[in-house]
Structure 1
Amino acid sequence: MSELFPAPVLALPEADIPLPGIKAYLSQAENHQIIFMEFSQDVDLAEHAHAAQWGIVLEGRIDLCIDGVPHSFTKGDRYFLPAGVKHSGKIYAGYADMTYFDQKDRYQAKK
């Protein structure tokens, strides 16, 4: 993994996200979460839906199909997934982002 994130982010609890090749750090708030993620391998995301999600691509590329419409996002791009909207995609090795989930319990800290 790169040294993209500074020490305060790396000091956050590691998020328990069931995807291969991910390293993720969890900032937990009372009513939402912010996840800092890096991927060391390609990952296919099956179609799913959840509470609203907003992300900023820090490195690499992610392809998302949002409500049937394909999109490709790279460094500097932002994306938004409205609550309940079905989406799927592909995350490419080297991808990193900061993602806001409008849901306090989307992920848990690793134990």
Structure 2
Amino acid sequence: MSEIFPKEIINLPEADIPLQGLKVHLSQGDNHQILFMEFSEDAELPEHSHECQWGIVLEGKIQLTINGERRTYMKGDRYYIQSGVKHSAKIYAGYADVTFFGEKDRYKKMGERNE
């Protein structure tokens, strides 16, 4: 997998997200998280909801179904999912993005325990 992120991002803690082929780095704020993600394999995420999510596609493509509407996003595209809106995703190998989550504890750092 080619690294598209600079060392400052690569040096951030990895997030504990159990998806095959995913490399993800986590920037943690007081009330949000920002993820820097790269996928080396296809992945599918079943329908779910959470606090707001905003992302920008850096490489590859993702197919999102948001509130029943399916759309494909490619390099340079942005998407926004409002809090509580049901959505699912098909992510293709080679996909990379930056994703903002409007919640501080959506994901744990690798090695942290759930309490």
Q: Within 5 A, what are the aligned runs for 1:1-111? A: 1-111=1-111
Secondary structure in structure 1 of the residue aligned to 2:94: coil
- RMSD over aligned CA atoms reads 0.5
CA drift at 1:23: 0.2
CA drift at 1:18: 1.7
User: Which contiguous aligned blocks of 4+ residues in structure 1 show a shift greater than 6 angstroms?
Assistant: none
CA drift at 1:50: 0.4
Pairs aligned (count): 111
Normalising by structure 1, report the TM-score.
Answer: 0.98
Point out where structure 1 has 5 or more consecutive residues left out of the alignment.
Answer: none
Distance 1:56 1:105 in 2: 21
Aligned identity (percent) is 61
Distance 1:53 1:19 in 2: 19
Point out where structure 2 has 5 or more consecutive residues left out of the alignment.
Answer: none
Distance 2:91 2:19 in 1: 10
Normalising by structure 2, report the TM-score.
Answer: 0.95
